[in-house]
Structure formats: C-alpha cells, structure tokens
Structure 1
Amino acid sequence: MDLEKSPAERPAVPAEGCLTVAIRLPVRIVVLVLVVPVRMLWDALVVGGRFLRDTLLRPVGRVLQWLAWAVFVWPWVTLWRYAVVPVGKALAWLGYVSLVVPAVWMYETVLTPVGHAIAWVARGVGAGFAWVYARVLTPVGRAVAWLLRGLGIGFGAVALGVYRVVAWLVRHLIVVPALWLYEWILAPVGRAIAWAARGLGWLVRMIFTGIGAALYWTLRVLLVLPALTLWRWVLVPVGRVLAVVAREVGDALGHAWRVAGHLSLAVGRFLGRLFRWIFVEPVRWVYRSVLTPVGHLVRDTVLRPAAEAARGVGRVTRQALAAARESARQTRADIRRMLFGTPREPERVPLAKDRREPGAAGTRTLGSSTTALTKD
C-alpha cells in the first residue's frame, strides 16, 4: 500500500548515513545471537518463578501468615480484649471513685469557701492600702516635691554659671587649636598620602594587568587552542560515531529482545506440545481407556457388593444387638419379679369426661328404653 501512494502522501523518513546502514546489520546479527539464549533463560526463569510462586510460595506464605497471626496477633488481641480493657476500666472507675470524687468534694466544700474568704480579706486589705495612699502618702509626696522645687531654683542658677565658664575654656583651649591643626596640617598631609596611594594602586594594577594578559595569551595558545582543536576535529566526530553505534546497539538490543521473545514463545509452545504429546496425552489415554474402565469394573464387581455385604452385616449386627438388649431387659424384669414380686398396678383415676358421660351401655339412644316413656 505504501508503494501505491504518491510521494507527497508517503510519511517522511529521516535520512540515514552510510555509516548507520553499515553498522546496523552486523550489530543486530551479533546482538540477536547473544540475546536469544539470555531471553530464553529469562523466560524459563519467569515460568519457573510463577510456578514456584503459585504452587509453593503462596500457600506457604498463607500458612506462615496464619501462624504469625495465631502466634503473635491473636494472643495480644485476646489479652487486650479480655484482660487489659477490663482491668483498665476497673482502674479508671477506682481512680474516679478514690480521687476525682473526693477532689470535687474538697473543692466544692472546703477550697471554694476558703478562697472566697481569702478574696474578701484581700479586697479589704487593698481598700485599706488605697485609703492610706490617697489620704496620707499623696499629700506627703506633694509637700516634699514642692520643697525640692524650691531648693532646685538656686542650685540651677549656680550650675548654669559654672557650665558657661567651663564651655568657654574648652572652646578656646581645645576646640580652636584642634580645628587649626586639622585645617593646616592634617588635611594637606592626608591629601598627599591619598594621592600617593592612588598612584601606587594604579602602578600595581597596571603591573598585574600586564601579567594577567601575558598568562591569558600563554594559556590560550598552549592549552585552549589545542583543546578546542582536539574537541572540534577529534572528539566530536568520534562521539558522533560512538553515539550512532550506541543508538544502533540499543535499537538492536530492543529488536533482538522482541525477536527472542517470539522465539522463546515458539520454543515454549513447542516444548509444551511435546510434553503434552509425550506425557499428558498418554497419561490421559491410560486414565480414560484403562484406569476408568478398570475402576468402574472394580467398583461394580468388588466395592459395591462389598459395601452391600457390609451394610447387610451391619444390619444383622444391629438386629442381634437389639435382640440381645431386649433379652437382657426381659431377664432383668424376671429377676426383679422373682426377688421383689409383681409391682402393684396404680389405680386408674377416672377422667373428667368419664365422670361426666355414661359408658357405652348406658348411653341414651332412640332405640333403647332408658327413659320412662319408652320403657317396656
């Protein structure tokens, strides 16, 4: 169908180089030869693992799970349910009765009244202190403050005169000489030192700039350009070739793994059919053609008559045992009569209907002459 399409309708296929085409076929052949045994071994291990899991590991795991539950979980659950929980409830009730109830009673009966009394006393003491503060301490404090303000006016005038004298002395003896020293000596010297430091810094910077440029061009010529040439003309082409080889090897591995899977499936089906033809079908034929008729024959000729005979023997045995029990019962009854005599039969108490209705001979019928009018 692809051959009948026009060039515009065909899907675009990326162009491949001759190196890719030359590498692909031998790589796929070699990889297929190497991968097929591995894939068959892997499929055999998978089938064996699944069979082992379904027939051995899963039942053993369930048994171990049940044993672990019975040994580790069930005793603790039983202990928790029937020992810890009842004991905890009993201890909680005992703690409530012995601690909570007395504590609540103590709080309601003792601590609350005592607390109310302490609060009332504290309020009274606070009211007393407030009265002392308002009536005694406040007037005394105001009087002391007025006295101190009066004394402080005289001391303030003397202190202001002393301050002005000290300030004039400090200004003319320390500040003015310090300003003259800074403006005419320290500032010019500092500017000269700063200009010399800037010149020295420029000189050092130019020296290190020249050394850095020389090292840069030396390293570029000796290391960078050869490394760039090696990368561009050697490593990049070799890397591209290795990338093509690696991609083809990966594609070949995937293709070989899928082909090996189909081959392994075919081999597995062939071995399964061979096993069925060699072992399963003969065993099935022997079971259907030989063992089943022989089993039916044995069942019909031996087992069923033997079962019937066994049931007959059982029936006869039960009848013999019943007869023996009845004989033993009669023998015990005879011995009891010989030793103790025949027991007296209890008198029969007439029923209510017997007392209420006459017997068969005394019933009233139309043909009898039991009444005065029909009596002969």
Structure 2
Amino acid sequence: MDLNKPADPPPPPPVPYEGGEGCLTVAVRVPVRIVVLVLVVPVRMLWDLLALCGRAVHTALLRPLGNALTWFFDQVVAPVARALGVAVLWLGKALLLWPLMALWRYVVVPVVKYGLVVPVSWNYRRVLTPLGHGLVWTLGRLAAGIAWLARTLGAGGRWLAVGAGRVLGVLVVVPLVALWRYVVVPVVRYGLVVPVSWIYRRVLTPLGHGLAWAARGLGAGAVWTVRTAVAGLVALLRVLLVVPAGWLWRRVVVPVGREIGAALQVGWRVAGFLSRAVGRALKWLAWQLAGRPAAWFYRAVCVPVGHGVRDAVWRPARRAAAEAGRAVRAALAGARATVRQARRDAWRALVGGPRAAEPVPGPPLQARNLVGTQQPQTVPGVAAGTETSLPERA
C-alpha cells in the first residue's frame, strides 16, 4: 500500500450560469452591425484623414512655429521685458519711493516730533503732572476734614437715629405687620390660592389628560391611514411602472445597447482596417505615379550630372581658387617684407646705424675674476689681467 500517494486535486469551482442569447438578440445583431458598419466607415476614414492632417500640420507648422516663438520669447521678449522691468522699477523708486522716504524722514517725522510730541510731553511733565498732584493733595485734605466732622457729630446722630427708629416702629411697622399677617395673607390664601389649586387638580388636569389621550389616538389613526395609503400607492406604482420598466430594461434596452456597443466596436475596427488599406493603396499609387519617377530621375539624371559638375567644374575651380589664394598671400608677404626693409633703411638713413659697444675700464687695484663663477667678481689686491672666457682658454 502506497502511503505517499498524492492527494486528489480539489474540484474546479462551479461555472457561473450564463443565460443564452434570446431570439431578439440574434435578430437584432446582424442588421445593427451592417447599419453601424455603413455609418462608421466614412466617419473612421474622415477621422484618420483628420488625424493625418493634424500630425502633418503639427510636424511641419506648429512645432517649428512653437520653436520660433520660444526662441523669440527667450532671446527678444524676455530681455526686453527684463530691461523694461528694471527701468520701471528704477523709475518707480525715483518718482515714488525715494520722494516719499525723503518726505517721511525730513518733513513728517520732524513736524510730528517737534510740533506735537515734544510740546505734549513738556505740557504733561510741566503742567498736568503738578496740577494733578495739587488736586490729589487738596482732595485728600478735604476728605480728612469731612471725616473729622463726621466723627465729631457721630454721637449725637446715633442717639437721634435710635429715637426716630423706635417712633417709626411703633407708629408704622407694627400696624403694617398686623395688616399683612391677619388680613392680606388669609384673604389671598383662602379666597384665591386654595380655589385655584382645587380647580387645577380636580378639573383642568383630568381634562388635559383626556384631551391628550384623544389627540394621541387621532394622531395614531392619521399616521396609520397615511402609511397605509403610501404603502398602497408604492405597491401600485411598483406593479404598474417599476416592474414593467425593469423588464423592459433587462429584456430590451440592455441587449439592444450591448449589441449596439459591440457593433460600434466591430465597425470601428473594420473601418480602421479599411481605412489603413485605402491609405496603403493611395500611398502605393502616389509612389508609382510620383515617387518612383522622381527617384529614377534623381538616380539616373541628377546624380550623374552632379558628379560631372563636381569633377569638371567645382574641383578645378576650387583648386584654381586655392592656387590664386596662395599666390596672393605670397605676393602680400613679399610686399610686406619689402615695405618693412624700406622703412628700416629710411630710419637708418635718417637716424644712423646702431652705436658700437665701448669697453668700460674697471677701478684700480681690482681685477675681475671670471673663473669658477657665472657673474664677474672683483678681488681686491689682485692685479688686473686679461679677461678671457673659459671656452677661449680651452
């Protein structure tokens, strides 16, 4: 028994159900595709022609024009605009900023400082501050006098106030308290508050509860009626409108739309194939009618003629021009040398030849030693001798 037997592969997932195509789909497909193909082919050919013209215009006109405009902007407009910006900025500074700064610095600030701030601060320090201090001192002294007078009259005032209060209490407060306690409170309590409370508890409260119960019942009935009517209306609309519209959408609109979309895709692809075929045919025809004769004419006529002109005319003319140039350069060099020699001879005749070098005698009892050094040296106490270089001695 094989214990290493591989496990069975899992079963494949179930294939989703796809409904078959109905007779309406099959009946609509072919006519729709024929009509769409007939309508789409001219549109696709026109589209391809417009796309070709657009690419040609972009390559031959728009791109060079854009490059030219870019160069013109970078080389002309941008420097001119930069220069104008600098000029306008400088002019704005010269006409607005600098005059305003000068006006602020030399007119407004001095006028405000010396015409307003300095007088106001001097008036505050020299006039208002001493006046305020004097008023505070005066009011303090006056308050102290009033307090002393009140303290002096305080004892007599308290005795008079106590007597007047007792008299008022006996004559006014006691009758008013008795009137409030034994007349006003009983009348208001038993003649107004108790009847009103009884009417509220025994009459108004049960009546309000009954009215509220009746209102809730009427509201619940009205709500049930409205809900029932709305549910019935929704069911009626669903049966009469939604279900037929859904069936029409699923069974008619969706298949027809799907077929029209598929027909448009197929027609667009077929029209593309036809358009490319027509384009290749036109390209072949143009090559046969114009390109091939032009290429043959270029190879058979223009190339030999060009080579003949190059070998018989251009190269000899270039060699002759080179020889003439060399001759002209030699003649000009000889003329320059002659003019230079004549100028040198004329200068020698007017001024004279170059002056010959004269020997300079050395100081006495000193001799110049050239042996073993590159520069002449003088040795004191040595007799002067002949000056000969090392090569001459050798």
Into which bin does the TM-score normalised by the smaller protein fall?
A: 0.5 to 0.7
Quote how far apart the aligned CAs of 1:295 are.
1.4
Q: Distance in 1 between matches of 2:13 and 2:241?
A: 39
- Give the equivalent residue in structure 1 for 2:374: none
- Give the equivalent residue in structure 1 for 2:87: 82
What SS does structure 2 have at the residue aligned with 1:355?
A: coil
Counterpart amino acid of 1:171?
A: V
- Give the equivalent residue in structure 2 for 1:60: 65
Q: Distance in 2 between matches of 1:133 and 1:236?
A: 98
Q: Distance in 2 between matches of 1:54 and 1:9?
A: 56
Quote how far apart the aligned CAs of 1:245 are.
1.5
Q: Distance in 2 between matches of 1:171 and 1:91?
A: 87
Q: Which moved more, 1:288-297 or 1:68-77?
A: 68-77
Quote how far apart the aligned CAs of 1:275 are.
3.4
Residues 1:164 and 2:188 are matched in the alignment: no
- Give the equivalent residue in structure 2 for 1:48: 53
Unaligned runs of 5+ in 2: 1-8, 340-347, 361-386, 389-394
- Give the equivalent residue in structure 2 for 1:15: 18
1:255-270 matches, cutoff 5 A: 255-270=266-281
Equivalent position to 2:239, from 215, 229, 241: 229
1:290-309 matches, cutoff 5 A: 290-306=301-317
What SS does structure 1 have at the residue aligned with 2:18?
A: coil
| TM-score between both structures, scaled by the size of structure 2 | 0.59
What SS does structure 2 have at the residue aligned with 1:178?
A: helix
Q: What's the % identity of the aligned pairs? A: 30
Q: Distance in 2 between matches of 1:52 and 1:30?
A: 34
Residues 1:140 and 2:146 are matched in the alignment: yes
- Give the equivalent residue in structure 2 for 1:239: 249
Post-superposition CA distance 1:160-193 (Å, at most 9, x none): 5575366455435556433355357787675687
* Higher RCO (Cα < 8 Å, 6 or more apart): 1
Post-superposition CA distance 1:110-134 (Å, at most 9, x none): 9579748845876655555555555
Q: Which moved more, 1:113-122 or 1:277-286?
A: 113-122
- Give the equivalent residue in structure 1 for 2:264: 253
Quote how far apart the aligned CAs of 1:149 are.
8.8
- Give the equivalent residue in structure 2 for 1:280: 291
- Give the equivalent residue in structure 1 for 2:193: 179
Quote how far apart the aligned CAs of 1:239 are.
1.2
Q: Distance in 2 between matches of 1:14 and 1:264?
A: 40
Q: Which moved more, 1:308-317 or 1:125-134?
A: 308-317
1:93-242 matches, cutoff 5 A: 96=101, 99-100=104-105, 103=109, 115=121, 118=124, 128=134, 130-132=136-138, 134-137=140-143, 140=146, 150=158, 154=164, 158=169, 160-161=173-174, 164=177, 167-168=180-181, 170-171=184-185, 176-179=190-193, 182-183=196-197, 190=204, 194=208, 205=218, 209=222, 212=225, 216=229, 220=232, 227-231=237-241, 234-240=244-250, 241-242=252-253
Q: Distance in 2 between matches of 1:183 and 1:237?
A: 70
Distance 1:348 1:83, change over 3 A: farther
Quote how far apart the aligned CAs of 1:294 are.
0.8
Post-superposition CA distance 1:281-317 (Å, at most 9, x none): 4323322332121112123223444556677788899
Post-superposition CA distance 1:136-159 (Å, at most 9, x none): 426636865996994776469557
Distance 1:302 1:348, change over 3 A: closer
Q: Distance in 2 between matches of 1:266 and 1:10?
A: 45
Quote how far apart the aligned CAs of 1:49 are.
0.8
Quote how far apart the aligned CAs of 1:229 are.
2.9
Counterpart amino acid of 2:84?
A: L
What SS does structure 2 have at the residue aligned with 1:237?
A: helix
Counterpart amino acid of 2:46?
A: L
- Give the equivalent residue in structure 2 for 1:335: none
Counterpart amino acid of 1:140?
A: I
Post-superposition CA distance 1:290-349 (Å, at most 9, x none): 21211121232234445566777888999999999xxxx9xxxxxxxxxxxxx9823446
Distance 1:70 1:344, change over 3 A: closer
Q: Distance in 2 between matches of 1:127 and 1:244?
A: 103
Counterpart amino acid of 1:238?
A: L
Equivalent position to 1:32, from 32, 37, 61: 37
Q: Distance in 2 between matches of 1:47 and 1:95?
A: 63
Quote how far apart the aligned CAs of 1:52 are.
0.8
Q: Distance in 1 between matches of 2:174 and 2:77?
A: 98
Q: Distance in 1 between matches of 2:141 and 2:76?
A: 85
Counterpart amino acid of 2:283?
A: G
Number of aligned positions between the proteins: 337
Q: Distance in 2 between matches of 1:14 and 1:263?
A: 38
What SS does structure 2 have at the residue aligned with 1:345?
A: helix
Q: Distance in 2 between matches of 1:313 and 1:177?
A: 149
Post-superposition CA distance 1:25-60 (Å, at most 9, x none): 544444334323322221221121111122112333
CA RMSD of aligned residues (A): 5.7
What SS does structure 2 have at the residue aligned with 1:15?
A: coil
Q: Distance in 2 between matches of 1:41 and 1:62?
A: 30
Q: Distance in 2 between matches of 1:55 and 1:272?
A: 19
Q: Distance in 2 between matches of 1:186 and 1:225?
A: 50
